[in-house]
Structure 1
């Protein structure tokens, strides 16, 4: 079975319960495969990154396999505004930055005849555009599992910045660290490269986007800008290192 998210921001949980941990969010227009369906909850796999979790059955709409394939094979159009809305038959649906508006062009899927008059982004953008997109999330509060300007975690931030520019990377920092080309020194990096940080056990726990002149933008308390050196992230407010640098990766 296949489905798409027809609401603004839907929680995907670790277990089939409203009290369960938020593992990520499903934004408007995202499609997924239903792996298991219960009375109130379904376990799904997101098409964009194969991330799995439990979603409330009241918060999505099922589509056919042909419709699912049609959406997957179509060009992607994403909402490029911080917040906007869709209008339809007696309907008003808010959508946030990064929502997938691709299916709106298909009359057999867009039964509500939803339309969008805001700004959209499509296709592969230059690497230099990554930082411009990242700034749209500046000061977004940290939220474990979040993917929007109203709450986002470190890897959700990097994933969404890359996705809006036409590049698809995994959801978690530990997964993102496994792709791309490792660089030996900060001086070799370019704006838009990713820096990864580990804990005392050597596990990757954090990621950020490298800026010019040894600065980094990342989600820590909020999406913020700090200094980056060979030790890690130097918080510009406290003057202390908050994360230990593990590796820098050139993804594109």
Structure 2
């Protein structure tokens, strides 16, 4: 088995091994993974964080040892807490990193990625925060453009948004909305919900395709065109700009 780590700020993960294939996810700096298959140009990988699988370009990651993979899986997780920042290596080369980038083996503002030492002076997220921090963290992504497969402040999809917000607060969610809907405790009514709970929405075939974070006063923050705030009622999401419902409510879940 071969193992790898993302050494670039944001790397596209594709459905099939082609530059023109659909982007289904992204790797953020510091994420590590197993390499399931590898050919001349592409690797099929499985992320350690959530088990998501897809293809990435061989030029866009570094191989690591099995020991390093296991250490990364068990060591405390430290994430960059700035919307965008940069790190420097010992030769003062700059690398930009986005919010949620992992800082492996962090110690006194320094960390190592596959033997290279980096310096980082920004905010660090590494604690389980109270549930009240979920909505506060979500506001950092307000007006981020919607991007299918995205999970950064430069473009994000609905489940990438909820997963990243929860990650920064110290909690782990699966990647896609329909997978996240298998987690947590079902709530019977909107009135039972608290800020930070998740609301899931389905399509005409009954497949869950959307998720958002519940706020106070029956508001919801979610990625739809951009990360935005709309109204939530028993029918679903009421778009305050279009004055119409855009998503049909399926279930509300408490994750924390």
TM-score interval, normalised by the smaller of the two chains: over 0.9
Gaps of 5+ in 1: none
Give the corresponding residue for 1:4: 5
How far 1:125 sits from its partner (Å)?
0.8
Which residue in the other structure is 1:143 paired with? 147
How many residue pairs are counted as aligned between the two chains?
A: 252
Q: State the Cα distance separating 1:104 from its structure 2 match.
A: 4.7
Specify the alignment match of 1:118 in structure 2.
122
Aligned to 1:176, which of 166, 180, 198?
180
Moved more, 2-11 or 64-73: 64-73
Secondary structure, aligned partner of 1:171: coil
Match of 2:205 in 1: 201
1:68 corresponding residue in structure 2: 69
Residue 99 of structure 1 pairs with residue 101 of structure 2? yes
1:151-204 deviation per Cα after TM superposition (whole angstroms, max 9, x unaligned): 000000000000111110100000001111111110000000000000111000
Runs of 4+ in 1 over 4 A off after TM superposition: 104-110
Calculate the aligned-residue CA RMSD, in Å. Answer: 1.2
Instruction: Name the stretch that deviates more: 112-121 or 54-63.
Output: 112-121
* SS of structure 2 residue aligned to 1:226: strand
Residue-by-residue CA offset, 1:93-151 (whole Å, 9 max, x unaligned): 00000111124559774533211011111021111100111000000000000000100
- When the two structures are superposed, what TM-score results if normalisation uses the length of structure 2? 0.96
CA displacement at 1:71 relative to structure 2: 1.2
**CA 1:128–1:107: 2 relative to 1, 3 Å:** closer
Unaligned runs of at least 5 residues, structure 2: none
TM-score of the aligned structures, taking structure 1 as reference length = 0.97
Q: What is the CA-CA distance between 1:72 and the residue it aligns to?
A: 1.3
Q: 1:5 deviation in Å?
A: 0.3
Match of 1:50 in 2: 51
User: Is the Cα–Cα contact under 8 Å of residues 29 and 103 in structure 1 kept in the other structure?
Assistant: no
Cα distance in 2 for residues equivalent to 1:7 and 1:166: 23
User: Where do residues 18-33 of structure 1 align in structure 2 (5 Å cutoff)?
Assistant: 18-33=19-34
Aligned CA distance change for structure 1 residues 167 and 108 (closer, same or farther; 3 Å): closer
